[in-house]
Amino acid sequence: MVGCASLLVASLYFVFATATPAASSTDDVQTAAATVVPIDNTTYFKYETVQLTDDCLSALDSSTAALFQFDDTDVTDISANLTRRTSSSCRIFPTDKSWPSDFIWNTLDWVLGNNALIKTVPLASPCYYGMYYNQAKCAALTSNWTNSYLHMTDPTSMMSPVYQGLTCEVTTDPTQNCTLGAFPFYAINVSNVAQIQLGINFARTMGLRLVIKNTGHDFSGKSGGAGALSIWTHNLKDVKYFPKYTSQGCGYDGPAFKLGAGVQAFEIYKEAHDRGLVVVCGEGQTVGVMGGYIQGGGHSPLSSIYGMAADHVLSLEVVTADGRFVTADFDQNTDLFWALRGGGGSTFGVVTSVTVKAYPDMAVTASTFSFTVGGNNGTITSDNFWTGVRNYMDYFPSLSAQGIYAYWFIINTSTGPMFLMQPFWAPGKSLADTNALLAPWFAQLNALNITFTPKTVHYDSFYPAWLASFPLEAVSKTHVATGSRLFPKENWSTTSKLDATFNAIKTSSQAGLTIIAFIIDPNLKNGGYPDNAVNPAWRNTYAHVLQSVNWAAGASAAVQLETRHNFTFGHMQRWRDVSPGAGSYLGESDILEPNFQQSFYGTSYPRLLSIKKALDPKNVFFAQTAVGSEDWQVVTANGLPSGNGKLCRI
């Protein structure tokens, strides 16, 4: 509080002494309009102790303070004028008259401190003539473009360029224009909670579109949006270990980690390993497991034993749409707590940290193998191949009951479809147990003349097994759309039902689509799962199956639209037809999914929507297919689905 008042005297002088305040603040000043709450408060990370408070705001002159008001504060005449912006039918756009002046942006920049406000320069700018042109840099970017490590450290780059609008990709033609597309206009490189509060209050007051980027992995590009202000959480990396964390609310008394919203899979798996523990997080190396992943549910190599990642959350710290910083757990803000565990990112608030349960480390056996039509010197026939895949599906109930998570693919090759297992993941199983689990299916494959030598390795511990078994996945595909289905358990109840389900998948493969799938049954093995917003379809499945359609790179918008229409209402409909009423995983889904409310949220949707309306009545947070998004649309120039257009009320 003391620090806050004295800083603000300086800020007033500074803001009004010069029309263009300098971007930087002094070393000992992180954020101008912030109070540092006592850091011996064990609830918070240090970056969570730097908060925006009413006292800080009231020390500002009224016209500056009006830009950053909390939504629960009585509005003055100026903020009343500003509030009108939020009721206009579209979020303001850089070409609008009401777009904030440079002076106002500079005020935001100064108040944030720490050089946190970054005006977007697309990552691929060095590939285009202009002030950033640099052939060598462009070549380096091009060679790494499908590597997620490149994009996650950029303030705005997203790994799904299709939804960015494909405006500034790496290219060998520097004469093209590098325009922003769905990249936000500015990003706040967040290093404390006050900056998130300032960003939310500023966006709401000014009527700006607001987005949140963590790593940019989202399949539907939900970390971007044209003309937006972005809150970039990637650098919130703190980790705190609790050997014994007690939550009376859920009756837990055991090890836990409090993790910053920017912590990624490769980081927490290592942290846990060093303490002889595991956490329930994803297979993907670089996914932001404490951001969009866990808020969307989060499937894991441990899901067939422990359920979804969101099932293990003990507490979250969140900045809500009114700008306030709150804790959501089993005892306080319980609706918010329920919604944030499965109801999706970018909807209810900006999460700054998550406390999750941890479990004893475990041994894992992992097996990798493949077989291909035309393989083994042409001895694998198409009929035998598909019989072998169909045989495989019979084992999903018994394998998932044993805790198995199998990551499998059907990919077209020059000789025909290839089945790839990478890996068959057997947590807690010995080599002998794992071989025994696979033996009945392998015997059937051998009888079909499908022979191969699996690479099966036993690891004493989860982390080295995970490192060795899940290769880094390529991102930034420019001509692909993906959808997914959580096929219901009932479809395994009779041979004819499973035949129909299998045929729906086989037909997609034979039409040239890529199948990427998991054996998974995300329920606790000792029964049940916590009451949270995870899509109920997850509790009634043995398989999460994705399919992807390709079009020719650079295809016209008309061809893309037709391909996508055929995909959504043809190939995906075929899958829905054999699984009516089931669902789809919102984190790996088709942005055009019809009736997404039912598919992505199931019977939780009505409650999620009422929580959304209560906590974010002004729709400060928006992402396509997120809860409450049906009232808004992004209007794109070419009619293709992306974030590259104005965001308007329908």
Ligand X SMILES: *[C@@H]1O[C@H](CO)[C@@H](O)[C@H](O)[C@H]1NC(C)=O
User: Which lies closer to ligand X via its Cβ, residue 112 or residue 627?
Assistant: 112
Q: Binding to ligand FAD by residue 292, rule CB under 6 A?
A: yes
Please give the full DSSP string across 496-520, using - where no structure is assigned: HHHHHHHHHHHHHHHTT-EEEEEE-
CB 120 within 8 A of CB 185: yes
Q: From the list ligand FAD, ligand X, none, which binds 393 (C-beta under 5 to 8 Å, kind-based)?
A: none
Place of tokens 């400060």: 620
Output DSSP code: residue 570. I
Q: How many CB atoms lie within 10 A of CB 25?
A: 23
Look-up: residue for tokens 């790839």?
420
How do 35-36 and 50-51 pair as beta strands?
A: antiparallel
What element of type H or E holds 206? helix 193-206
Q: Least distance to ligand X from the beta carbon of 329, Å?
A: 12
Q: Indicate which of ligand FAD, ligand X, none lies near residue 261 (CB less than 5 to 8 Å, by partner kind).
A: ligand FAD
Q: Which of 91, 204, 217, 312 binds ligand FAD (CB under 6 A)?
A: 217
Q: CB under 8 Å to 485, separation ≥6 — which residues?
A: 544, 545, 572, 575, 576, 579, 582, 583, 584
Which residues lie near ligand X (CB under 6 A)?
A: 37, 41-43, 77-78, 81, 118, 143-144, 147, 149-150, 155, 175-177, 189, 191, 235, 376-377, 384, 412, 414, 448-449, 488, 490-491, 497, 500-501, 510, 512, 559, 562-563, 566, 578-582
State the Cα–Cα distance between residues 393 and 504, nearest whole angstrom: 13
Cβ-contact 619, 628 below 8 angstroms: yes
Closer to ligand FAD at the Cβ: 296 or 427?
Answer: 296
Q: Which of 204, 222, 390, 571 binds ligand FAD (CB under 6 A)?
A: 222
Residue 69 touches which of ligand X, ligand FAD, none (CB < 5 to 8 A by kind)?
none
What is the footprint of ligand FAD within residues 97-156 (CB under 6 A)? 148
Q: Which residue has the tokens 């993941």?
A: 425
475 binds ligand FAD (CB under 6 A): yes
**Candidate residues 96, 361, 394, 473; the one interacting with ligand FAD per rule CB under 6 A:** 473
- Least separation in angstroms between CB 405 and ligand FAD: 10
Minimum CB separation from ligand X for residue 40, in Å? Answer: 8
Cα 594 from chain centroid? 20
Nearer to ligand X (CB atom), residue 191 or residue 201: 191
148 Cβ neighbours under 8 A, 6+ residues apart: 159, 215, 217, 284, 285, 286, 472, 473, 475
From ligand X, ligand FAD, none, interface partner of 218 (C-beta below 5 to 8 A by class): ligand FAD
Tell me how far apart the alpha carbons of residues 602 and 293 are, in angstroms, rounded to a whole number: 18
Out of ligand FAD, ligand X, none, what residue 213 binds, judged by CB under 5 to 8 A for its kind, is ligand FAD
Minimum distance of ligand X from residue 377's CB (angstroms): 4
Among 287, 316, 358, 362, binds ligand FAD (CB under 6 A): 287
For residue 603, the minimal CB distance to ligand X (Å) is 14
Given the complex with ligand FAD, which of 25 and 192 has the nearer CB atom?
Answer: 192
* Smaller CB separation from ligand FAD, 318 or 578: 318
Residues 316-355 that bind ligand FAD (CB under 6 A): 345-346, 350-351
Nearest residue to 158 via CA among 268, 292, 351, 270: 292
Cβ(188)–Cβ(119) below 8 Å? no
Residue 225 binds ligand FAD, judged by CB under 6 A:
no
| Residue 284 engages ligand FAD in binding (rule: CB under 6 A) | yes
Q: Work out how close the CB of 91 gets to ligand X at its nearest, in angstroms, rounded to a whole number.
A: 20
Q: Which is nearer to ligand FAD, 109 or 588 (CB)?
A: 588
126, interface contact from ligand FAD, ligand X, none, CB < 5-8 Å by kind? none
Least distance CB 27 / ligand FAD (angstroms)? 27
CB of 635 to ligand FAD, least distance (A): 19
Q: Give the number of other Cβ atoms within 10 Å of residue 128's Cβ.
A: 21
Least distance to ligand X, CB of residue 413, Å: 7
Residue number, 261 or 450, with CB nearest to ligand FAD:
261
Sign of CA dihedral 436, 441, 442, 446: positive
Closer residue to ligand X, CB minimum distance, 546 or 582: 582
Q: CA nearest 123: which of 108, 106, 137, 105? A: 137
Residue 583 lies near ligand FAD (rule: CB under 6 A): no
Q: Which stretch binds ligand FAD (CB under 6 A): 291-299, 384-392, 488-496, 639-647?
A: 291-299
Euclidean distance between CA atoms 412 and 564, whole angstroms: 20
Contact 257, 270 (CB under 8 A): no
Shortest Cβ distance from residue 140 to ligand X (Å)? 6
Min dist CB 216 to ligand FAD, Å, is: 5
Residue bearing tokens 């129909």:
500
Q: In the complex, what is the shortest distance from the CB of residue 613 to ligand X, in angstroms, rounded to a whole number?
A: 26
Distance CA 586, CA 601 (A): 8
- According to DSSP H, which parts of 547-623 are helical? 557-566, 572-577, 596, 605-615
Q: How many Å apart are CA 328 and CA 611, to the nearest integer?
A: 13
Q: Does 588 bind ligand FAD (CB under 6 A)?
A: yes
Q: Could you tell me if residue 482 is left (phi over 0), alpha (psi between -120 and 50 degrees) or otherwise beta?
A: beta
Q: Which of 7, 159, 356, 537 binds ligand FAD (CB under 6 A)?
A: 159
Which region, judged by CB under 6 A, interacts with ligand FAD, from 67-75, 98-106, 292-300, 428-436?
A: 292-300
Instruction: Give the residue, chosen from 49, 215, 372, 619, that forms a contact with ligand FAD under the rule CB under 6 A.
Output: 215
Does 296 participate in binding ligand FAD (rule CB under 6 A)? Answer: yes
CA distance 368 to 364: 13
| Spatial distance between the Cα atoms of 317 and 48, rounded to a whole number of angstroms | 9
Looking at residue 527, its amino acid is: G
Q: At 270, which helix (H) or strand (E)? A: helix 265-274
Q: Which residue has the tokens 């015997």?
A: 443
Among ligand X, ligand FAD, none, what does residue 283 contact (CB within 5–8 Å per kind)? ligand FAD
Q: What is the CA radius of gyration of the chain?
A: 25
CB 336 within 8 A of CB 620: no
Which residues ranging from 596 to 635 are in contact with ligand FAD (CB under 6 A)? 623
Contact 601, 338 (CB under 8 A): no
Which residues, in sequence order, are bridge partners of residue 22? Answer: none
Per partner kind, with CB cut-offs from 5 to 8 A, the member of ligand FAD, ligand X, none near residue 526 is: none
Q: Does 269 bind ligand FAD (CB under 6 A)?
A: no
Chain residues binding ligand FAD by CB under 6 A are 148, 159, 211-219, 222-223, 233, 261, 282-284, 287-288, 291-293, 295-296, 298-299, 345-346, 350-351, 473, 475, 587-588, 623
